[in-house]
Amino acid sequence: MKRLICSAICAVAVLCSGHMGMAQHISPVHTTFTGGGKGDLAVSNNTMKPMIVTMSVEGFGVGEKGKPGSAALDPRIHIKFSKTSVRLNPQQTYHIFYDASADSYPAWCYLIATFSPIEPPEGRAIVVKTQLAHALYMYQKEPMGSNDVTVKEVAYDPETHMMRYVIDNHSNKIGRPRITFPMLRDDANFAVSVPLFPNRVTTVEQNMPPGLLTMFRKQVPKEIAFQFEHSRIQMPLTEKSIAPHTIPDTVNSPAPATASSPAPASTASSYASPKK
């Protein structure tokens, strides 16, 4: 996403996840709390020029396949930074601490670090400002369980090693179950690539982790399990061809659901599409 800023000079700001920054970096790229919490972000200037880093908070919504997009900041969310602006010398890393809370849970937002050169490059009319996003998730206290979701489809493509699963989260909770294969060894598991947001049907297309490919080439498991904190859902794994990029990715942006009020059909409370 590019933003054009008109001033004495023309500045371009690019919003991306923290791991994408080459000359600048933010770490970690996401954090999960149960309720609110305190955390810190490491912002790094890997250039040979001094930079100014300013911190801000933005909302986000995500399309059905997990692609993030702009959305209004949830007014329930409260973020306090130890510093909202800091100067970074060349090759310097600085830790910015924050206190995150919300009036009710779950809630989520972006913590944005904007890197700006102190002086424009000599002889250039364009200054590049880079925005790096840290995704912050504040889960509800009661964890998501198998009774909160319905798995509608699970498929594996042996040619592309892609998995697709369609999960209906019919609760007001947010969660990210782990995927396990009962016939494989205990460490043959991985997390669903995107959180399951409240009152949403989420379709996930996810490449098989490299560590599991060797086992799958020998024998594709007949069953798959979605492991929650205290329960799990186990079902057959279907082999079929999966055409990538076949799912629309419309971002929904209204306010998310709260524990006391169900999400409306068009809420931005998920990485997913509203139920039909």
Q: Which tens digit of pLDDT belongs to each residue from 213-222?
A: 888 888 888 8
**Domain limit, last residue, from 114, 139, 164:** 139
Reply yes or no on whether the pLDDT at 173 is more than 70. yes
Per the listing, tokens 């791991």 go with: 19
Q: Give the CA angle between residues 113, 116, 121 to the nearest 5°.
A: 155
Asked if 102 and 154 sit in the same domain, the reply is no
Lowest mean pLDDT among 15-19, 89-93, 105-109, 212-216: 15-19
The count of structural domains within the chain is: 2
Asked if 146 and 127 sit in the same domain, the reply is no
Q: What is the Cα–Cα distance from 126 to 135, expressed in whole angstroms?
A: 29
Domain that holds residue 262: 142-276
DSSP label at 246? -
**Domain limit, last residue, from 139, 157, 180:** 139
pTM metric for this prediction: 0.76
Q: What is the Cα–Cα distance from 256 to 261, expressed in whole angstroms?
A: 10
Asked if 125 and 13 sit in the same domain, the reply is yes
* Number of H-type helices and E-type strands within the chain: 1, 20
* Largest separation between any pair of C-alpha atoms in the chain: 64
Task: Give the pLDDT confidence score for residue 212 in this predicted structure.
Answer: 81
- Which residues fall within 8 angstroms of residue 269, CB to CB, at 6 or more apart? 174, 197, 198, 199, 200, 255, 256, 257, 263
Asked if 68 and 165 sit in the same domain, the reply is no
Q: Which tens digit of pLDDT belongs to each residue from 18-51?
A: 544 468 999 999 999 999 999 999 999 999 999 9
- Three-state DSSP class for 213? helix
**Domain limit, last residue, from 139, 159, 191:** 139
Q: Is the separation of the CB atoms in 268 and 256 below 8 Å?
A: yes
